[in-house]
Amino acid sequence: MKVLVTGGAGFIGSHLVDRLVEEGHEIIVLDNLFRGSLKALDSYITHKKITFLNRDIRDYEQVKQACKGCELVYHLAAQSNVMGAVEDIRYSFSTNVVGTFNVLLAAKEQGVRRLIFSSSREAYGEAGYLPVDESHPLNSKNSYGAGKAAGEKYCQVFQNSGDLEVVILRLANVYGPRDFNRVIPIFIKNVKQGKELTVFGGQQLIDFIAVPFVVSMMRLAAENKKALFGPVNIGSGRGTTLFELASRIMALSGKNSKINVLPARNAEVVKYTADLKRFKEVFKTEPPLDPLDYLKAML
Ligand SMILES: NC(=O)c1ccc[n+]([C@@H]2O[C@H](COP(=O)([O-])OP(=O)(O)OC[C@H]3O[C@@H](n4cnc5c(N)ncnc54)[C@H](O)[C@@H]3O)[C@@H](O)[C@H]2O)c1
């Protein structure tokens, strides 16, 4: 199968590419390297296992060419960082909203069978109740969440038109190797170096989920029929505080770091855990019992 992965040089995208290479598919990666890197993909490019296109989803014609002959599109390219999206609201709008529209239109025009969109728990904004199910209103709190909510709306428009199958996966907080500048990689790096850990506010309840599990669900989403009928939460369904996270990392590394609590940041959603009823119905599987179990392997 010929598969396009937008954002395939990024954290989750590169793990998805690993899986697609293992499965022997023909893979096109489109990424403008805004946050991604070719490090993980270098040997695939050298050995012609993938085609890498240094292109931008804000340019419709570039995306249309990339979609040619593809059966499946995984759309992950995005300004994926909440604070980054808040700081550069124009880039996040043009990439996360206009770019998503371009990918949908290009996929439809090129006769792609199915598109899988990486949405986010940030689309919900601050939860009115926990755990959050898919019918919770989308009260996005920041421009990143708003961009994902808008992207989802366009996904529904294309899905309803009947010309393109679209699956919307609302990802919780994904972690694993190759990520950077998010809480788990920052905590691991600082604990290893004996530096202090910064927590903003300290009230957060975060639903962490390891990247291999997310990639497996993305692969199931390529064929699953029930996944077409509305967004699906992907998470562990369990909440972890940043203090629990810090102590797990310290215990696993055998080192201690001081925790420095600073004022909360307005743009950040404080509490989220995913309701996984629909997830279980769709994918007929269970999330890992311990959301932080994969930290051992990472460390
Ligand atoms: N990591 C998480 O916890 C998480 C949670 C929820 C949703 N998501 C979503 O999953 C997807 C992948 O997330 P990630 O953590 O791998 O992020 P990432 O930033 O590592 O990957 C996104 C990739 O998109 C590329 N990109 C950015 N702007 C682009 C543009 N205009 N044109 C082409 N490429 C562009 C970046 O260079 C990067 O390689 C994103 O859509 C993100 O919003 C991630």
d(CA 118, CA 278): 17
Nearest CA to ligand 1 atom 1: 174
Cβ of 173 closer than 6 Å to ligand 1, yes or no, is yes
Cβ of 13 closer than 6 Å to ligand 1, yes or no, is yes
Q: How far is the CA of 76 from the centre of ligand 1 (A)?
A: 5
Task: Tell me if 190 sits within 8 A of 256, measured CB to CB.
Answer: no
Task: Tell me if 273 sits within 8 A of 237, measured CB to CB.
Answer: yes
Catalytic residue among 44, 144, 154, 272: 144
pLDDT at 267: 87
- Two structure tokens written together for 189: 């790096």
Q: How far is the CA of 80 from the centre of ligand 1 (A)?
A: 4
Q: How far is the CA of 240 from the centre of ligand 1 (A)?
A: 23
**Rg of the chain on CA atoms, in Å:** 19
pLDDT at 161: 94
d(CA 210, CA 177): 9
pLDDT at 238: 98
Show me where the domains of the chain are located.
Answer: 2-172+210-234, 175-206+237-273+288-298
Closest to 217 (Cα-Cα) out of 80, 119, 82, 146: 119
pLDDT at 207: 98
pLDDT tens digits for range 205-214 = 999 999 999 9
Nearest CA to ligand 1 atom 28: 78
CATH of domain 2-172+210-234: 3.40.50.720
pLDDT at 218: 98
CATH of domain 175-206+237-273+288-298: 3.90.25.10
Closest to 265 (Cα-Cα) out of 79, 89, 80, 83: 83
Low-confidence ranges of the chain (pLDDT < 50): none
Active-site residue flag, 124: no
